[in-house]
Amino acid sequence: MATTSKLKTVRLQLPASTDDLAALELGTVVYLSGRIYTAREGVYKRAVEDGAGLPAPPEEMGFANFHCSPAATLHPDGSATVGAVTATASFRFAKWLDGWFKLSRCNIIIGKGGMTGEIYKRHFVPHQAIYLTTVGYGTGALLGRGIKGVAATHWVDELGLAQAIWVLDVENFGPFLVESDMTGASLFERENAKIAPNIDKLYAGSKPATLRRYGETDDKTEEVI
Protein backbone atom coordinates (compact mmCIF):
# COMPACT_ATOMS: atom_id res chain seq x y z
CA MET A 1 0.00 0.00 0.00
CA ALA A 2 2.03 2.91 -1.31
CA THR A 3 4.99 1.72 0.73
CA THR A 4 7.59 3.23 -1.57
CA SER A 5 6.78 6.81 -0.56
CA LYS A 6 9.06 9.13 1.35
CA LEU A 7 6.13 10.40 3.40
CA LYS A 8 5.70 9.66 7.12
CA THR A 9 3.02 7.02 7.84
CA VAL A 10 0.90 6.65 11.01
CA ARG A 11 -1.61 3.93 11.90
CA LEU A 12 -4.39 5.06 14.23
CA GLN A 13 -6.76 2.97 16.35
CA LEU A 14 -10.25 4.49 16.59
CA PRO A 15 -11.62 6.28 18.46
CA ALA A 16 -8.54 8.49 18.34
CA SER A 17 -7.50 10.41 21.44
CA THR A 18 -6.75 14.13 21.37
CA ASP A 19 -3.08 13.24 21.96
CA ASP A 20 -3.10 10.91 18.95
CA LEU A 21 -4.46 13.71 16.77
CA ALA A 22 -2.16 16.38 18.19
CA ALA A 23 0.84 14.31 17.07
CA LEU A 24 -0.22 14.38 13.40
CA GLU A 25 1.54 16.75 10.97
CA LEU A 26 0.27 18.09 7.66
CA GLY A 27 0.98 15.66 4.81
CA THR A 28 1.37 12.60 7.06
CA VAL A 29 -0.09 9.39 5.59
CA VAL A 30 -2.72 7.86 7.90
CA TYR A 31 -4.38 4.44 8.05
CA LEU A 32 -7.36 3.88 10.38
CA SER A 33 -8.65 0.82 12.23
CA GLY A 34 -11.90 0.75 14.21
CA ARG A 35 -15.35 2.20 13.59
CA ILE A 36 -16.32 5.00 11.22
CA TYR A 37 -19.57 6.14 9.62
CA THR A 38 -20.67 7.96 6.50
CA ALA A 39 -22.65 11.19 6.77
CA ARG A 40 -23.07 14.00 4.25
CA GLU A 41 -25.57 16.74 3.35
CA GLY A 42 -28.68 14.57 3.66
CA VAL A 43 -27.75 13.46 7.17
CA TYR A 44 -26.56 16.93 8.24
CA LYS A 45 -29.76 18.58 7.08
CA ARG A 46 -31.93 16.02 8.82
CA ALA A 47 -29.92 15.76 12.03
CA VAL A 48 -28.89 19.39 12.49
CA GLU A 49 -31.21 21.62 10.47
CA ASP A 50 -34.45 19.64 10.85
CA GLY A 51 -33.60 18.81 14.45
CA ALA A 52 -33.91 15.01 14.16
CA GLY A 53 -30.72 14.46 16.17
CA LEU A 54 -28.68 11.27 15.76
CA PRO A 55 -30.28 7.93 14.84
CA ALA A 56 -27.96 6.13 17.30
CA PRO A 57 -25.60 7.13 20.14
CA PRO A 58 -22.13 8.30 19.00
CA GLU A 59 -20.60 5.42 20.97
CA GLU A 60 -22.30 3.05 18.49
CA MET A 61 -21.58 5.06 15.33
CA GLY A 62 -17.98 5.93 16.08
CA PHE A 63 -16.23 9.28 16.12
CA ALA A 64 -14.87 9.48 12.59
CA ASN A 65 -17.21 10.92 9.95
CA PHE A 66 -16.52 9.94 6.33
CA HIS A 67 -17.96 12.28 3.66
CA CYS A 68 -18.89 9.42 1.42
CA SER A 69 -21.55 7.38 -0.31
CA PRO A 70 -20.41 3.80 -0.79
CA ALA A 71 -20.95 1.84 -4.01
CA ALA A 72 -22.96 -0.71 -2.07
CA THR A 73 -26.06 -2.90 -2.17
CA LEU A 74 -28.40 -3.57 0.73
CA HIS A 75 -29.97 -7.04 0.60
CA PRO A 76 -33.56 -7.81 1.72
CA ASP A 77 -32.23 -9.68 4.79
CA GLY A 78 -30.48 -6.51 5.95
CA SER A 79 -26.96 -7.61 4.99
CA ALA A 80 -24.86 -5.45 2.68
CA THR A 81 -22.30 -5.73 -0.10
CA VAL A 82 -19.81 -2.86 -0.13
CA GLY A 83 -17.72 -2.54 -3.29
CA ALA A 84 -15.71 0.64 -3.54
CA VAL A 85 -15.86 3.75 -1.36
CA THR A 86 -14.60 7.22 -2.20
CA ALA A 87 -15.05 10.57 -0.52
CA THR A 88 -17.12 13.41 -1.85
CA ALA A 89 -16.01 17.07 -1.82
CA SER A 90 -16.34 18.47 1.70
CA PHE A 91 -16.37 22.24 1.14
CA ARG A 92 -20.13 22.13 0.54
CA PHE A 93 -20.87 20.92 4.06
CA ALA A 94 -19.31 23.68 6.14
CA LYS A 95 -22.57 25.31 7.17
CA TRP A 96 -23.73 22.30 9.22
CA LEU A 97 -20.40 21.49 10.84
CA ASP A 98 -20.65 23.34 14.14
CA GLY A 99 -24.00 21.74 14.92
CA TRP A 100 -22.74 18.40 13.76
CA PHE A 101 -19.61 18.46 15.96
CA LYS A 102 -21.77 19.27 18.98
CA LEU A 103 -24.23 16.49 18.20
CA SER A 104 -21.80 13.76 17.13
CA ARG A 105 -18.68 14.66 19.18
CA CYS A 106 -16.65 13.34 16.22
CA ASN A 107 -12.99 14.34 16.07
CA ILE A 108 -11.98 13.13 12.61
CA ILE A 109 -13.60 14.17 9.37
CA ILE A 110 -12.52 12.29 6.27
CA GLY A 111 -13.41 13.74 2.91
CA LYS A 112 -12.34 14.99 -0.49
CA GLY A 113 -10.47 18.23 -0.97
CA GLY A 114 -10.73 19.66 2.51
CA MET A 115 -12.18 23.00 3.56
CA THR A 116 -10.61 26.40 4.10
CA GLY A 117 -8.23 27.21 6.94
CA GLU A 118 -10.80 29.69 8.14
CA ILE A 119 -13.40 26.93 8.56
CA TYR A 120 -10.90 24.69 10.34
CA LYS A 121 -10.08 27.46 12.79
CA ARG A 122 -13.71 28.39 13.37
CA HIS A 123 -15.27 24.90 13.61
CA PHE A 124 -12.62 22.19 13.92
CA VAL A 125 -10.13 23.68 16.37
CA PRO A 126 -12.72 24.37 19.15
CA HIS A 127 -13.82 20.73 18.90
CA GLN A 128 -10.24 19.39 18.74
CA ALA A 129 -10.95 17.75 15.42
CA ILE A 130 -8.77 17.19 12.37
CA TYR A 131 -9.44 16.65 8.68
CA LEU A 132 -8.07 13.74 6.65
CA THR A 133 -8.31 13.82 2.88
CA THR A 134 -8.60 10.71 0.74
CA VAL A 135 -5.82 10.24 -1.80
CA GLY A 136 -6.17 10.94 -5.52
CA TYR A 137 -9.87 10.72 -4.74
CA GLY A 138 -9.99 7.50 -6.65
CA THR A 139 -8.52 4.91 -4.30
CA GLY A 140 -11.98 3.41 -3.88
CA ALA A 141 -10.88 -0.20 -4.33
CA LEU A 142 -8.09 0.08 -1.71
CA LEU A 143 -10.53 1.70 0.72
CA GLY A 144 -13.14 -0.95 -0.06
CA ARG A 145 -10.62 -3.62 0.98
CA GLY A 146 -10.21 -1.92 4.34
CA ILE A 147 -13.90 -2.30 5.19
CA LYS A 148 -14.39 -5.42 7.26
CA GLY A 149 -18.09 -5.12 7.91
CA VAL A 150 -21.21 -2.97 7.89
CA ALA A 151 -22.23 -2.64 11.56
CA ALA A 152 -25.46 -0.76 10.82
CA THR A 153 -27.24 1.48 8.35
CA HIS A 154 -29.52 4.36 9.35
CA TRP A 155 -32.09 6.45 7.44
CA VAL A 156 -31.92 4.35 4.25
CA ASP A 157 -35.66 4.73 3.68
CA GLU A 158 -35.66 8.43 4.46
CA LEU A 159 -32.53 9.43 2.52
CA GLY A 160 -31.76 6.65 -0.02
CA LEU A 161 -28.68 4.44 -0.18
CA ALA A 162 -26.29 7.20 -1.21
CA GLN A 163 -27.20 9.68 1.54
CA ALA A 164 -27.84 7.15 4.33
CA ILE A 165 -25.54 6.60 7.31
CA TRP A 166 -23.37 3.53 6.85
CA VAL A 167 -21.61 2.46 10.07
CA LEU A 168 -18.48 0.60 9.02
CA ASP A 169 -15.84 -1.42 10.84
CA VAL A 170 -12.49 -0.87 9.15
CA GLU A 171 -8.96 -2.20 9.35
CA ASN A 172 -5.88 -0.54 7.88
CA PHE A 173 -8.33 1.74 6.10
CA GLY A 174 -6.50 4.21 3.90
CA PRO A 175 -4.37 5.81 2.73
CA PHE A 176 -5.39 9.29 3.87
CA LEU A 177 -3.34 12.48 4.17
CA VAL A 178 -3.51 14.91 7.08
CA GLU A 179 -5.02 18.02 5.46
CA SER A 180 -5.75 19.92 8.65
CA ASP A 181 -3.99 19.53 11.99
CA MET A 182 -5.06 20.55 15.48
CA THR A 183 -4.05 24.18 14.83
CA GLY A 184 -6.38 24.42 11.82
CA ALA A 185 -3.56 24.73 9.28
CA SER A 186 -4.35 23.39 5.78
CA LEU A 187 -2.04 21.30 3.59
CA PHE A 188 -3.87 22.40 0.45
CA GLU A 189 -3.46 26.07 1.32
CA ARG A 190 0.23 25.50 1.98
CA GLU A 191 0.58 23.86 -1.47
CA ASN A 192 -1.51 26.58 -3.16
CA ALA A 193 0.86 29.19 -1.78
CA LYS A 194 3.84 27.34 -3.28
CA ILE A 195 2.18 27.17 -6.70
CA ALA A 196 0.90 30.77 -6.74
CA PRO A 197 4.11 32.55 -7.84
CA ASN A 198 4.15 30.61 -11.12
CA ILE A 199 0.57 31.50 -12.02
CA ASP A 200 1.27 35.10 -13.00
CA LYS A 201 3.99 33.95 -15.38
CA LEU A 202 1.55 31.57 -17.10
CA TYR A 203 -0.79 34.44 -17.87
CA ALA A 204 1.88 36.91 -18.97
CA GLY A 205 0.87 38.66 -22.20
CA SER A 206 -2.62 37.16 -22.24
CA LYS A 207 -5.71 39.41 -22.34
CA PRO A 208 -9.04 38.78 -20.61
CA ALA A 209 -11.74 37.33 -22.86
CA THR A 210 -13.68 39.88 -24.95
CA LEU A 211 -16.93 38.98 -23.21
CA ARG A 212 -16.54 39.16 -19.44
CA ARG A 213 -18.63 37.18 -16.99
CA TYR A 214 -20.28 38.26 -13.75
CA GLY A 215 -18.31 37.34 -10.70
CA GLU A 216 -15.05 37.26 -12.60
CA THR A 217 -11.86 38.02 -10.78
CA ASP A 218 -8.53 38.57 -12.44
CA ASP A 219 -6.62 37.44 -9.36
CA LYS A 220 -5.88 33.88 -10.41
CA THR A 221 -4.17 33.14 -7.14
CA GLU A 222 -7.61 33.05 -5.54
CA GLU A 223 -9.56 29.84 -5.13
CA VAL A 224 -13.07 29.43 -6.53
CA ILE A 225 -14.42 27.45 -3.58
Show contacts with another protein in window 142-201 (CB under 8 A).
142-145, 160-163, 175, 177, 187-188, 191-192, 194-195, 198-199
Contact status: 72 vs another protein (CB under 8 A) = yes
Q: Does 205 engage in binding with another protein (CB under 8 A)?
A: yes
How long a stretch of residues is the chain? 225
Question: Among residues 204, 211, 214, 215, which is the contact residue for another protein, using CB under 8 A?
Answer: 211
Q: In the complex with another protein, which residue's Cβ is closer, 29 or 165?
A: 29
Distance of CA 76 to the CA centre of its chain: 30
Pairing status of strand 64-66 against strand 108-111: parallel
Q: What is the DSSP string of 87-156?
A: B-BGGGGGGGHHHHHHHH---EEEEBS---HHHIIIIIGGGT-EEEEESTTT-HHHHHHHEEEEEEEESH
Of 15 and 68, the one with the shorter C-beta distance to another protein is: 68
- Any bridge partners for residue 176, and if so which? 30, 134
Segment contacting another protein (CB under 8 A): 55-63, 102-110, 131-139, 165-173? 131-139
Q: Binding to another protein by residue 6, rule CB under 8 A?
A: yes
Q: Does 65 bind another protein (CB under 8 A)?
A: no
Least distance in angstroms from the C-beta of 213 to another protein: 8
Could you tell me the smallest distance in angstroms from the CB atom of residue 195 to another protein?
5
Asked, as a colleague might, if the bond just before 57 is cis with ω within 30 of 0, I would say no
Residue 220 is a binding residue for another protein (CB under 8 A): yes
CA 31 to CA 162: how far, in whole Å? 24
* Helix or strand holding residue 193 (H, E): helix 187-202
Contacts of 66 (CB under 8 A, 6+ apart): 36, 37, 38, 39, 85, 87, 110, 111, 168
Judged by CB under 8 A, does residue 83 bind another protein?
A: yes
Q: Which residues bind another protein (CB under 8 A)?
A: 1-2, 4-7, 27, 29, 42, 68-73, 81, 83-89, 112-114, 133, 135-145, 160-163, 175, 177, 187-188, 191-192, 194-195, 198-199, 202-203, 205-211, 213, 220, 223-225
